[in-house]
Amino acid sequence: MLVIAHRGASGTQPENTLVSFRKAIELGAEMIELDDHLCKTGELVVIHDYSVNRTTNGNGFVSHKTLNELQSLDAGNGEKIPTLHEIFELVSGKAKINIELKGKHVATETATLIMAAIQEKKWKAEDFVISSFHHRQLSEFHALIPDVPIGILYKRHPNGYQKLAHKLNASSINLSINHVNANLVEEIHQNGLQVWIYTVNSEEEFEKVKAMSVDAIFTNFPERFIS
Ligand code: G3P
Ligand code: MG
């Protein structure tokens, strides 16, 4: 089972920061997950929420702040909010990256950055996975770079996933641990798709989803499950 470091090694490090992703790679994570947003000056930044309030010492919306303003904030233990480009430089082939399109209108800019990484660096399309709860953004992204694998995120039951998965040539259906059961996993597998589960942090949760033969888990504690 693939163990994906959710927001990095975010159970022990400040989430979505360089130190969190560096730790995840040191722990042997084959894939990291991050969330991206556009800031006021047009750069893609890596942060989960629409506002900086929860994860930094600042206040206000990410989209209302310049990159300089965002990077002057403390995102925990003196860490800065990283740009997506900074994460590419850090990871540099040592792991795959699952980019969750979190903010509004991030699909085009994310595709542009990935395209540059593929053309100018040694990245390959399959070094990335793009996922989102915003299914329209997945369609926009897929139209720009069809080779990059897609994971369709659902908060609850994945109604109508077959049609969308076909349209996006998706590789996985990404479900909450609270809305998965063995029958659903089997059905999704029969449709030729993988099942990835967020967020699995305890041994009990791990055993539950392992028994369902899911293909990957997102965890804040990769050290607990990477063997
Ligand atoms: O992609 C899995 C997971 O990250 C989705 O939820 O809120 O943690 O971004 P969230
Ligand atoms: Mg996420």
Domain ranges in the chain?
A: 2-224
Q: Is 196 in the pocket of ligand 1 (CB under 6 A)?
A: no
Residue 59 CA, ligand 1 centroid: distance in Å: 22
pTM of the model: 0.98
Query: Using a 6 Å cutoff on CB, does residue 177 contact ligand 1?
Result: no
What pLDDT, on a 0 to 100 scale, did the predictor assign at position 165?
A: 98
Instruction: Please report the pLDDT score of residue 226 as a whole number.
Output: 96
Distance 57 CA to ligand 1 centre (A): 22
Strand locations in the chain (E): 2-6, 31-38, 44-46, 96-101, 128-132, 150-153, 172-176, 194-198, 216-219
- DSSP-derived 3-state class of residue 8: coil
Per-residue model confidence (pLDDT) at position 119: 95
Q: Is 131 in the pocket of ligand 1 (CB under 6 A)?
A: yes
- Ligand 1 pocket residue status of 15, Cβ below 6 Å: no
Task: Give domain 2-224's CATH superfamily.
Answer: Phosphatidylinositol (PI) phosphodiesterase (3.20.20.190)
Ligand 1 centroid–CA 117 distance in Å is: 24
Does 6 participate in catalysis according to the annotation? Answer: yes
In angstroms, what is the span from residue 218 Cα to ligand 2's centroid? 9
- pLDDT score recorded for residue 80: 98
Task: Give residue 227's pLDDT.
Answer: 82
Beta carbons of 15 and 49 less than 8 angstroms apart: no
- Conformation bin of residue 99: beta by default, left when phi > 0, alpha when psi is -120 to 50: beta
Is 100 close to ligand 1, i.e. is its CB under 6 Å away? yes
Catalytic residue among 37, 48, 142, 157: 48
Tell which one of 33, 175, 180 to mutate to probe ligand 1, the residue whose CB is within 8 A of the most ligand atoms. Answer: 33
Residue 122: the pLDDT is: 87
Q: What is the pLDDT along the chain (227 residues), one digit of tens a residue?
A: 999 999 999 999 999 999 999 999 999 999 999 999 999 999 999 999 999 999 999 999 999 999 999 999 999 999 999 999 999 999 999 999 999 999 999 999 999 999 999 999 889 999 999 999 999 999 999 999 999 999 999 999 999 999 999 999 999 999 999 999 999 999 999 999 999 999 999 999 999 999 999 999 999 999 999 98
Which residues are CB-contacts of 100 (< 8 A; sequence separation ≥ 6)? 33, 34, 35, 36, 131, 132, 153
CA nearest ligand 1 atom 5, residue: 198
Which of the listed residues 34, 198, 214 should we mutate to test ligand 1's pocket, taking the one with most ligand atoms within 8 A of CB? 198
Spatial CB neighbours of 192, under 8 Å, sequence gap ≥ 6: none
Q: How buried is residue 19: exposed, middle or buried, by Cβ count under 10 Å (0-12/13-18/19+)?
A: buried
